[in-house]
Amino acid sequence: MSGARAVLRCDELTVPPFSDSASGLTRTYLSPAYNAAQDRLAGWMAEAGMTVRRDAAMNLIGRYEGVVGGSPALVIGSHLDSVRNAGAYDGPLGIMLGVEAVAALHAKAARLPFAIEVYAFGDEEGSRFPAAMLTSRAVAGTLHPAALEVTDREGVALAELVDLAAYPSAARSRGEVIAYLEAHIEQGPVLEAQGLAVGTVTGIAAQLRYEIELGGTAGHAGTTAMDLRRDAVAGMAEMVLAAESVARAGPADLVATVGVVQVPSGAANVIAGKCAFTLDVRAASASTRDGAADEILRRFRAIANARDLGLAVRKGHDLPASPCDPALMHLLDRATEAAGHAPFRLVSGAGHDAMIMAALCPTAMLFVRCRGGVSHNPAEHVDPADADVALQVMLGFIEQLGASLEPA
pLDDT at 321: 87
In this prediction, residue 137 has a pLDDT band, given cuts at 50, 70 and 90, of: very high
pLDDT of amino acid 407: 60
Is 73 in contact with 174 (CB distance < 8 Å)?
A: no
- Taking 70 as the threshold, does the pLDDT of residue 408 lie above it? no
What is the set of domains in the chain, with CATH numbers?
Answer: 3-204+321-405 (3.40.630.10), 206-319 (3.30.70.360)
Instruction: Using alpha carbons, select from 185, 187, 267, 283 the residue that is nearest to residue 220.
Output: 267
Element (H, E) at 94: helix 92-107
Q: What would the pLDDT profile of 294-314 be if each residue is shown by its tens digit?
A: 999 999 999 999 999 999 999
Contact 296, 279 (CB under 8 A): yes
CA distance 378 to 382: 12
With a cut of 80, say whether residue 1 has pLDDT above it.
Answer: no
- Strand 274-283 and strand 345-348: pairing? unpaired
Three-state secondary structure of 317-371: EEECCEECCHHHHHHHHHHHHHCCCCCCEEEECCCCHHHHHCCCCCEEEEEECCH
pLDDT category at 101 given cuts 50, 70, 90 is very high
95 contacts 80 by C-beta, under 8 angstroms = yes
Q: What pLDDT is attached to residue 364?
A: 98
Averaged pLDDT score across all residues of the chain: 95
pLDDT digits (tens, 9 = 90+) for 24-82: 999 999 999 999 999 999 999 999 999 999 999 999 999 999 999 999 999 999 999 99
Structure-derived torsion over alpha carbons of residues 11, 15, 18, 22, reported in degrees to the nearest 10: 150
Q: Give the residue numbers of the binding site for allantoate.
A: 209, 269, 282
User: CA 82, CA 24: separation in Å to the nearest integer?
Assistant: 11
CB 376 within 8 A of CB 90: yes
- The tens digit of pLDDT for each residue in 165-221 reads 999 999 999 999 999 999 999 988 999 999 999 999 999 989 999 999 999 999 999
Residues flagged as binding site: 79, 90, 125, 184, 209, 269, 282, 376
Q: What percent of the chain has pLDDT over 70?
A: 99
How big, in percent rounded to 5, are the helix, strand and coil portions of the chain? 40, 25, 40
For residues 15 and 314, give the distance between their C-alpha atoms in angstroms, rounded to a whole number. Answer: 39
Give the residue numbers of the binding site for Zn(2+).
Answer: 79, 90, 125, 184, 376
Per-residue model confidence as pLDDT tens digits over 219-274: 999 999 999 999 999 999 999 999 999 999 999 889 999 988 999 989 999 999 99
